[in-house]
Amino acid sequence: MRHFLALLLCVPLMVFAETKENPLSDIAPYFEQGRINTLLDYVSNPQNEAQIYTMLGRSDKVYEFLTKYTEYSYCKLDSSAKKVPATPLVKKHIADHQVVMVNENHFNVASRALVAKWLPWFKEQGFTHVGFEAFGPGEKAAREFYFQESMMSNLIQKAEALGFKVFGYEAEKSTPDDMDFAEGFAFRDKQQAENIIEQITQADDNARFLIFAGWAHIAEAPLKYPGGKYRTMSDFLKNDHGINPLTIDTTACPYSGDENNPLASYAYKQDGDIINVGSVQNVDIQIRVPKAPPTNIGYFRKALGDAYIPNEADWPESKPVILQAYNTETGYVADRVMSDAGEQLPLYLPSGNYRVTLHSLNGDLIWDDRVELD
C-alpha cells in the first residue's frame, strides 16, 4: 500500500489531458494568457495543484507535498550502506545497453535538470535518440502538457541542439472507460512500448535510445497494487519485445539540496549491490536526487541563465503576477515564474530573443515586450 499512492501519481494527469472539457487538456493557452486562476480554481486535489505550481516555477509551494509522498522510514539506511556518486555509476552501467530509461517525479524538476546535464556524455557514448512520455509520436511538442515547465522545455531543446532525434512515444488511443486501474495502465503502457519499438525498428542498427518517463513506467516487472498487479512500459519492452533496458529510478527518497552543489545525486550500495527502495523497486539503479529547499525558489532554474526582471515601475505591488518568456523563433517557453503580492521574482534566461509578458493571475496583460538579451 505504501507504494500505491506514489505510483498513482503518474496516471490521473494523463487522464485529465485526454478529457476535452478539462482545462488541462489544452494547458498552453492558459499559461500564455496568464489565466492561472482558471487552472487553480479548477484543480480539485493536491496532485493537480502541485503540477500547476511546478509549471509556475514555484518549487517552494510543492515542497510539503513532495516530501509527504517521497520520504518514508525505508529511506533511512543503516551505517553499513555505502553512499556513492550517481553520475560515474550511471556512466559505467550505460555501456552495455541499447536502451536506457530514466524516470522522474513530475513535481521535482531535479531529474529534468540532471538528465539535461547528462545529455552531452550520453551523446559521446553514441546515444542517438531521446524519447519523451506525454508527447504524441512524431510531435515536437512546443505546446504539449509537460513542455510547459521550463526545465522540461530546456531539456528537450538541449537534446535537439545536441543532434539527438527527439520523439514522443505517448499512447495514441484513449483508455476505454470500462477498464479497471490495472487494465487501463497496461493499455496505455503497451502502446508506449510499441511506439518505442517502432522507433528502434526504423533506426540504424547502432542507434541507442534514452527514454525519459514518469514514475512506474520504467519498472521491469508487473507491480503490485491493492487489487492485484499491473504491467508497465518497461515490462512490455523487456518481456514481450526482448529489449533489456537499463532502468534508473530517481523518484524515491529525495534529500534537501546543497546550495553549493545543487545537482549532487547519489546511489547507495550494500555488500556491493545497489540498494533500491521506495516507489519503483524493479529497476537496475536507484539514485537519490535533491529537492529544492523551500526558501530558494530559483534553486534549479538558476542553471537556465542569468536573472532577468522587467523594470520595477511596470510591476504592480499589491497583487500576484506571472512573468514568462517565450523564445521568439521556436515558441518554446524559456522560463516562467509566479510572484505573490509584494514579490518580484526573476526569470533565468540565456542570451537570445524573447517575448516577455507579465500578467495578473486572471489573465489581464500588464506588460508585453520583445526583449533581446546578450
Facing residues of 213 across strands?
103
Looking at residue 1, its pLDDT comes to: 24
H/E element, 89: helix 86-93
Domain range 305-374, CATH class: mainly beta
Residues 6, 249 contacting (CB under 8 angstroms): no
Residues 330, 324 contacting (CB under 8 angstroms): no
Looking at residue 25, its pLDDT comes to: 62
Looking at residue 69, its pLDDT comes to: 75
Q: How is residue 230 annotated by DSSP?
A: E
Query: Grid cell 538528465 — which residue?
Result: 115
DSSP string covering 325-356, please?
EEETTT--EEEEEEE-TT--PPEEE-SEEEEE
Q: How is residue 292 annotated by DSSP?
A: -
Residues 266, 286 contacting (CB under 8 angstroms): no
Residue 218 CA to residue 71 CA, distance in Å, equals 20
Residue 255 CA to residue 291 CA, distance in Å, equals 6
Looking at residue 13, its pLDDT comes to: 35
Q: How far is CA 111 from the centre of its chain?
A: 7
In the three-class reduction of DSSP (H, G, I as helix; E, B as strand; rest coil), residue 35 is classed as: coil
Residues 73, 258 contacting (CB under 8 angstroms): no
68-291: CATH topology is: Rossmann fold (3.40.50)
Residue 57 CA to residue 336 CA, distance in Å, equals 6
Looking at residue 47, its pLDDT comes to: 84
DSSP string covering 105-150, please?
-TT-THHHHHHHHHHHHHHHTT--EEEETTS-TT---TTSTGGGSH
Looking at residue 139, its pLDDT comes to: 61
Strands 209-214 and 99-104: parallel
H/E element, 300: none
Q: Going residue by residue through the chain (374 aa), what tens digit of pLDDT does each one get?
A: 222 223 333 443 333 333 334 556 678 889 999 999 988 887 778 888 898 999 999 999 999 888 887 778 889 998 899 999 999 999 999 998 999 999 999 999 999 999 999 999 999 999 999 999 988 776 656 677 778 999 999 999 999 999 999 999 999 999 999 999 999 999 999 999 999 999 999 999 999 999 999 999 999 999 999 999 999 999 999 999 999 999 999 999 999 888 889 999 999 999 999 999 988 889 999 999 999 999 999 999 999 999 999 887 778 888 999 999 999 998 899 999 999 999 999 999 999 999 999 999 999 999 999 999 99
Residues 162, 350 contacting (CB under 8 angstroms): no
- Percentages (nearest 5) of helix, strand, coil residues in the chain: 35, 25, 40
Q: How is residue 287 annotated by DSSP?
A: -
Residue 128 CA to residue 146 CA, distance in Å, equals 22
> Where do the structural domains in the chain lie, given as residue ranges?
68-291, 305-374
Looking at residue 156, its pLDDT comes to: 93
Residue 366 CA to residue 348 CA, distance in Å, equals 20
Looking at residue 137, its pLDDT comes to: 75
Looking at residue 19, its pLDDT comes to: 34
Looking at residue 327, its pLDDT comes to: 94
In the three-class reduction of DSSP (H, G, I as helix; E, B as strand; rest coil), residue 19 is classed as: coil
| First and final C-alpha spacing in the chain | 52
| Exposure string over 201-218, b if 16+ CB within 10 A, otherwise e | eebeeebbbbbbbbbbbb
